[in-house]
Chain A
């Protein structure tokens, strides 16, 4: 493996396994040597400094989320509101923001607390679990179902569709066996499209149901919502549902895994929050900054622009390396220290500007409740001896996180 960034070309490998497992030292090298870098293979610009990333996030008219070259996640149209820029995006945010406000999310706390405990009930006595599958994956799905007003019995169906879209190789390994490399992408695309169609079908039925039998839930609100006196079209509702599912599940799963992996490996920090649960909100913020599970977000440049003396051309895909921005010594005091009591912490883990993560209040609530319940019930845990956690690139999910603890 070459050094990252490449000392000769200055190019950055965004597929460096270190960026998944232990990214902070890599971020520091990239930021110091080439604050605006070029990615290997694609040659697309990568912004790493806090100030540059924040500036890009705040200027969607230059760094747009409307990409022709979508990340092809089984969608037939852009996801709403993530892949649409202001002013059209603003109309959707006005409609959706109230359903995701901090106040609304607090109403979900008792249900999430119940779901978290029900999951822990299943494995607490065993004294061990694989955290990703046992807790981090199902919990955000139950939260999503509660939020939308969908039955918990649909959990497995949802997990299958979600994995088909996000990780087709994991759910259908047989489809990839013995394929030449040039067929891999195509096969993944087919599985994604299939899962995408199942998702559309599922929500089509929910829309039909809420049209005939109004209920008091988010799906009902979407079906009967109006923007400027006009009802949302079926396509608009489906494009919103697609986003909620794709953006709301894996991100919280990944964050839970990163948090617990960090705390399992840093017992002093873990004991601090066990002894003083009031530190948990600060710990959640600090681990969002330090781990930045959604480490990179894409934008497309709408016009020629100069960033830090680096020329970016109209049409170029740009990567905002949020993880590097969140560990930038030029912005944060003691940026390389993990401090749960940090007073000023304006990390960009939820982005910024008009595309600020719609689900940030939901995510914070889920993370806080999960951290509280987990540490209340399983305070003394560690990585299983002899095992090594595995992280996925892109969204940094701890795909394999074997834990063990002392049974009480």
Chain B
């Protein structure tokens, strides 16, 4: 799975790194940091959870 984050849309709700800590982290301001663009299958469900809980629609996931 591939994950993309549009950082211009991120305002730091922080849902992604709370719900999917193996896929996302946070910078000093609490904005999203994508750990790896390619997500292994064991973290795919986390990535989807992070994506669908972003209130700004800043995260995209593409299944392999």
List chain A positions with a Cβ less than 8 A from chain B. 54, 58, 93-94, 97-98, 100-103, 281, 343-348, 350, 352-354, 356, 360-361
- What is the predominant secondary structure among interface residues of chain A facing chain B? helix
CB distance from B60 to the nearest CB of A (A): 15
Q: List 25 A-B contacts (CB under 8 A).
A: A58-B56, A93-B29, A97-B28, A97-B29, A98-B29, A98-B30, A101-B26, A101-B30, A102-B26, A103-B26, A343-B52, A345-B53, A346-B15, A346-B52, A346-B53, A346-B54, A346-B55, A348-B55, A352-B13, A352-B55, A356-B11, A356-B12, A356-B13, A360-B13, A360-B14
Q: Is the Cβ of A350 less than 8 Å from the Cβ of B13? A: yes
**B28 and A101: CB pair below 8 A?**
yes
- CB B57 to nearest CB in A, in angstroms, measures 9
Residue in contact with B14 in the complex, picked from A281, A343, A352, A361, CB distance below 8 Å: A361
B residues at A contact (CB < 8 Å):
11-15, 17-18, 26, 28-31, 49, 52-56
Majority secondary structure, B binding face: loop
Q: Which residue in A97, A346, A348 is a CB contact (below 8 Å) of B30? A: A97
Taking a contact as CB atoms under 8 Å apart, the answer to whether A100 and B52 are in contact is no
B55 and A361 contact, CB distance less than 8 A: no
Residue of A nearest to B52 (CB): A344
For residue A345, which residues in chain B have a CB less than 8 angstroms away from its CB? 53
CA A347 – CA B55 in complex, angstroms?
7
- Nearest Cβ on chain A to B2's Cβ, whole angstroms: 20
B32 CB, nearest partner CB in chain A, Å:
12
**Nearest-CB distance from B61 to chain A (Å)?**
13
Give complex CA distance A65, B15 in Å: 25
Contact residues in B for A281 (Cβ distance below 8 Å): 18
- List A contacts of B56 (CB < 8 A): 58, 352-353
Q: Are A352 and B53 in contact (CB under 8 A)?
A: no
Q: Knowing A97-B12, A352-B11 touch, does A343 contact B30 (C-beta < 8 A)?
A: no
Q: How far is the CA of A361 from the CA of B56 in the complex (A)?
A: 16
Report the separation of the CA atoms of residues A352 and B11 in the bound assembly, to the nearest whole angstrom: 8
**B29 (CB) vs chain A CBs: closest residue:** A97
Residues from chain B with Cβ under 8 Å of A58 in the complex:
56
CB-CB under 8 A from A343, the residues of chain B are: 49, 52
Given contacts A345-B53, A352-B55, contact A101 B29 (CB under 8 A): yes
Give Cα A58–Cα B55 distance, bound, in whole angstroms.
11
Q: How far is the CB of A18 from chain B (nearest CB, A)?
A: 28
Whether the Cβ atoms of B52 and A102 lie closer than 8 Å is no
* Also in contact, A361 and B30, with CB within 8 A (given A97-B12, A352-B11, A352-B55): yes
With A343-B49, A361-B30 in contact, is A102–B55 under 8 Å at CB?
no
The answer to whether B29 touches A354 (Cβ under 8 A) is no
Cα A58 to Cα B6 in complex, Å, equals 15
Give CA–CA (A158, B52) in the complex, Å.
40
Residue of A whose beta carbon sits closest to that of B11: A356
The docked-state distance in angstroms from the alpha carbon of A353 to that of B42 is 32
Interface pairs A-B: 8 shortest CB-CB: A101-B30, A97-B29, A346-B55, A356-B11, A344-B52, A98-B28, A352-B55, A102-B14
Interchain nearest-CB distance for B46 vs A (Å): 12
How many whole Å from A406's CB to the nearest CB in chain B?
35
Residues of chain A within 8 A of B18, CB atoms compared: 102, 281
